[in-house]
Amino acid sequence: MATVDTFARPLRNLRISVTDRCNLRCSYCMPEENYVWLPRRDILDFEEIALLVDCFTEVGVDKVRITGGEPLLRQHLDRLVAMLAAKPAIRDLALTTNGILLTEQASRLAAAGLHRLTVSLDTLRADRFREITRRDALPSVLEGIAAADAAGFRPLKIDTVVMRGVNDDEIFDLIEFGKRYGAEVRFIEYMDVGGATRWSRERVVARDELIDVLRRRYGGVEPASKDPSAPADRFALPDGTAFGIIASTTQPFCSACDRARLTADGMWYLCLYARLGTDLRALLRGGAGREQIAERLRAIWGGRDDRGAERRLAEREREALLSPDQLRSDPHLEMHTRGG
């Protein structure tokens, strides 16, 4: 039987961060100079992750997304993908990456059984890419996208965080770029989570504004089919091109949120905004078995009342959620640790 929380939301979706390290420094995610990293000895090995995944599938999870930090920095990631792909209870296995290392890994990930791939890409301009990410890596990302397409990941998804005055003039270019690869572009509203220490309300380009801009340019934007628990609202342009908008800031979808997050060191969070999590690594390394852990997951999810983004929306005075000092005091609060 499905495990449900206090708002009758089932636990179905698990995002697993496999590393807190990253080869980019995106301004909306990791804007600072120095970071506190998770200790290496705490990072779960693949067998530990697979065992925890079995506990999660036992309580209803059937969708898993591998993320990070940058997940492709984790050595031999295709081995973990193969271990998870072999589990019949997982009907959807996806991965989110910045794409830099896809050229060398896309075909291996496909062969290991990865179902779906999302590449994050905020700009098509090399100088802007450098400004946003503080690395000169746009050509590798574009090559990576071509490699993912060649490896058969279709439709590929491209996730773009839209920030006013930064990349909001590239919406059409990104849609056209997506068309070239049959990729579905999803525009994400800038969120005030984790390391977004420079977030401001003014920088957010809201879903309604995006739709207006696209309607004016393309002559029509119609709603398209969507999975009710998926964060993206899907739309179609008159020529049939589909795109998505993830309105996590202005129209949050907490009421249907079925997702939880596991960090690379085995902390379990019930919400992107949650301050506290559950230490599953301690349970696991303390000798708890599969049934015992599953029981704990059921009990904790049963008490879940998180609606982080909705609660933030109700706040009148709203600035960045966390300061660099708060983030340094607990790296688990970082988006690159929690997995986005």
Rounded to the nearest whole angstrom, what is the least distance from the CB of residue 235 to ligand SAM in the complex? Answer: 19
Does the footprint of ligand SAM cover residue 102 (CB under 6 A)? Answer: no
Q: How many residues bind ligand SF4 (CB under 6 A)?
A: 24
Indicate the Cα dihedral angle 325, 162, 166, 219, nearest 10°: -170
Please choose, out of 75-83, 187-195, 209-217, 287-295, the segment that lies near ligand SAM by the rule CB under 6 A.
187-195
Per-residue x/- mask for ligand SAM, residues 56 to 85, rule CB under 6 A?
Answer: -----------xx-x---------------
191's contact among ligand SF4, ligand SAM, none, with CB below 5 to 8 A by partner kind, is ligand SAM
Exposed, middle or buried, 19 (CB in 10 Å: 0-12/13-18/19+)? Answer: buried
Rounded to the nearest whole angstrom, what is the least distance from the CB of residue 145 to ligand SF4 in the complex? Answer: 14
| Spatial separation of the C-alpha atoms in residues 106 and 320, rounded to whole Å | 36
Q: Are residues 242 and 234 in contact, defined by beta-carbon separation less than 8 angstroms? A: yes
Does the footprint of ligand SF4 cover residue 70 (CB under 6 A)? Answer: yes
257's contact among ligand SAM, ligand SF4, none, with CB below 5 to 8 A by partner kind, is ligand SF4
| Spatial separation of the C-alpha atoms in residues 112 and 243, rounded to whole Å | 28
Going by C-alpha positions, the residue among 246, 212, 250, 240 that lies closest to residue 227 is 246
| CA–centroid distance for 77 within its chain | 17
Q: 54 or 168, CB closer to ligand SAM? A: 168
Of 5, 17, 35, 69, which one interacts with ligand SF4 (CB under 6 A)? Answer: 69
| Spatial separation of the C-alpha atoms in residues 56 and 93, rounded to whole Å | 14
Nearest residue by C-beta to ligand SAM?
Answer: 340
Does the footprint of ligand SF4 cover residue 26 (CB under 6 A)? Answer: yes
